[in-house]
Amino acid sequence: MAFRADPLTDDLQPLTMRDAWASHLTDLVHTDPRVAVVLADISDDLFEEARKDHPDRVINVGIREQLLVGTAGGLALAGLRPIAHSYAPFLVERAFEQVKLDFEHQGTSGVLVSVGASYDWAEGSFTHFSPRDVALFDTVPGWRVFVPGHAAEVPPLLDRAVAADEGVYMRLSLRHNENPHAVPDDSLLVLREGNDATVVVVGPLLDNVLEATADLDVTVAYTNTPRPLDTVGLRELAADTGDAIVMVEPYLEGTSAWLVSQAYEDRPHRLLSIGVGREELRRYGTAAEHERLHGLDAAGIRARVRRFLGLA
Amino acid sequence: MISSVNVTFEQVRELAQRTVTDVRYPIVKTYTLDAIWVLYDRVLRVDPHRPDDPARDRFLLSKGHGPSAFYAVLAAKGFFPPDWLDDVASLESPLGSHPDATLVPGVEMSAGSLGHGLPLGVGLAHGLRAKGFDSRVFVLVGDAELDEGSNHEAIAYAGAIGLPNLNVIVADNDSASHGWRGGIASRFEVNGWSAATVDADDHEALYRSYATAHPDRPHVTVAVHRP
């Protein structure tokens, strides 16, 4: 049987986010004795040399995801900064009690780095999709969420994740923008200014949003650090667009609605949430096709934003 | 007031009786006391005056149940005043029916949900070695707790790589619903562990097993209690 796509590599990119992450993390393992890597077979081939040099800091537990996160929690108890990695549904959904009890309840933290995102390996279908991951992390107080939009954004985000005191979830994807964008802190990066709405877009959906809104009178702001969401910056931007807000996220639709609502307790606002739908599609195909089915391609985003603005 | 110096087992047992946390598991209080007491009294390298010493040995009460015995031993060894034992699980007490490592000096793991201690112990064992310490990690689990699959992920992995500073104590009171055909020790041995099965109240046998040299593999002590 021949698969059309490798679930972890993308022929269209010279360097995937996963490649950039593994390369930079290998450097960190060699230079920072606090850094430890825990794997569950996925991506183990990228760390073979580092594991030989640091057998107690580069660990492959095999296909055992509860142990994956539990071991990372134990490394944190020993004072190290663990980075645990696997496919998103196995890392986050299967082992979520370990996130809750082996980090949060122990009063420790770590870095969890996933691949696969919402539908990267569309041929693999629902078992390998994880659109609910960021919503789950919203239930754990204090965790940051980083969603790079390009491989070149990964190393600086990884540096921040390793240096942070809080837990960090990094969501790597084969979907990406044409160019990287430097976001030096947690602020929203304004790429276009307009009057009718403020569109906040997360990570790899930026190019689709820019295309979708090219002739619309809207502000477009980008973030690859959606947690903590820059709600102060959002309020400032939206004040100039009639407090009309569009959140475009590459994971479960509405994931950030609660944060926008919380930020607007004192002010009326309108919110359109665009993201991955809740229903299982039970379709195969490609990631680009799933993006279209969820209305996350440029045409789909454009249609919904125009309706929100009363233009359609 | 009981001094933490030269405390006897009988005195620790009296301390354990002051708590009321194990009304659901009354038998747990006694036989886990033997296992934990021998460990703290003769084996573990821990100092109540330096509870955060990074090079200390670690004990993880994975199953969480049975904290009366654990609390009594910690009080006896001077990690906190014995008076704390008198209002366990009250709103103002740091001692609950499941221990919280962020509240209690000497507690290394916040526990209660089964199947978490052994994976955490694997990470701790790796981490302590990575830091250059010769510290040992001891994890106490129940025989019914072994039903949780996460334990078997850890048993298979730790045995396969031969993690030598990892030690498990199984408090076996035959409470697993479907038992362990072939015996608990064999489950570990087939995965490459060193194993010893002893009577849960035989302090010398417990000590010998805890002190067993196992330089190339982890070790399990199955402490059998049959009422």
pLDDT tens track for B150-179: 999 999 999 999 999 999 999 999 999 999
Instruction: Check residue B1 and give its pLDDT.
Output: 39
Whether the pLDDT of residue A300 is over 50: the answer is: yes
Preceding amide of A228 cis, omega within 30? yes
Q: What is the mean pLDDT of chain A?
A: 96
Whether the pLDDT of residue B23 is over 60: the answer is: no
> Distance between CA A36 and CA A139 in Å, rounded?
25
Task: Give percent of chain A above pLDDT 70.
Answer: 98
> Distance between CA A280 and CA A244 in Å, rounded?
30
Q: Is residue A9 part of a domain?
A: no
- Give residue for tokens 């020790």: B185
Query: Looking at the 3D structure of chain A, how many domains does it have?
Result: 2
Helical spans, DSSP H, in B97-194:
117-130, 149-161, 184-189
ipTM of the complex: 0.95
Q: Which of A238, A239, A243, A232 is nearest to A220 (CA)?
A: A238
In a mutational test of the A interface, the residue from B102, B133, B150 whose CB has the highest number of chain A CBs within 10 Å is B150
Q: How confident is the model at residue A11 (pLDDT cuts 50, 70, 90)?
A: confident
Shared domain check, A211 and A108: no
Domains of chain B are 9-224 (3.40.50.970)
Mean pLDDT of the region A58-75 = 98
Whether the pLDDT of residue B2 is over 50: the answer is: no
Find residues 19-38 of chain A whose CB sits inside 8 Å of chain B: 33, 36, 38
Whether the pLDDT of residue B21 is over 80: the answer is: no
Instruction: Check residue B27 and give its pLDDT.
Output: 53
Q: How far is B1 from chain A (nearest CA, A)?
A: 31
Residue A240, domain CATH: 3.40.50.920
Q: Is residue A1 part of a domain?
A: no
Whether the pLDDT of residue A5 is over 90: the answer is: no
Residue A36, beta-bridge partner list = A82
pLDDT tens track for A36-55: 999 999 999 999 999 999 99
Asked if B130 is an interface residue toward chain A (Cβ–Cβ < 8 A), one would say: yes
User: Is the separation of the CB atoms in A252 and A273 below 8 Å?
Assistant: no
Shared domain check, A193 and A163: no
Shared domain check, A165 and A280: no
pLDDT tens track for A114-163: 999 999 999 999 999 999 999 999 999 999 999 999 999 999 999 999 99
Range of the domain at A293: 189-308
Q: Is residue A177 part of a domain?
A: no
Q: How confident is the model at residue B5 (pLDDT cuts 50, 70, 90)?
A: low
Instruction: Check residue B106 and give its pLDDT.
Output: 97
pLDDT tens track for A163-196: 999 999 999 999 999 999 988 789 999 999 999 9
Asked if A63 is an interface residue toward chain B (Cβ–Cβ < 8 A), one would say: no
Q: How confident is the model at residue B3 (pLDDT cuts 50, 70, 90)?
A: very low
Give me the residue from B123, B129, B156 closest to A77, CB to CB. B123
Asked if B126 is an interface residue toward chain A (Cβ–Cβ < 8 A), one would say: yes
Q: Which of A86, A71, A84, A75 is nearest to A33 (CA)?
A: A75
Shared domain check, A65 and A31: yes
pLDDT tens track for B85-117: 999 999 999 999 999 999 999 999 999 999 999
Asked if A94 is an interface residue toward chain B (Cβ–Cβ < 8 A), one would say: no
C-beta atoms of A101 and B110 within 8 A: yes
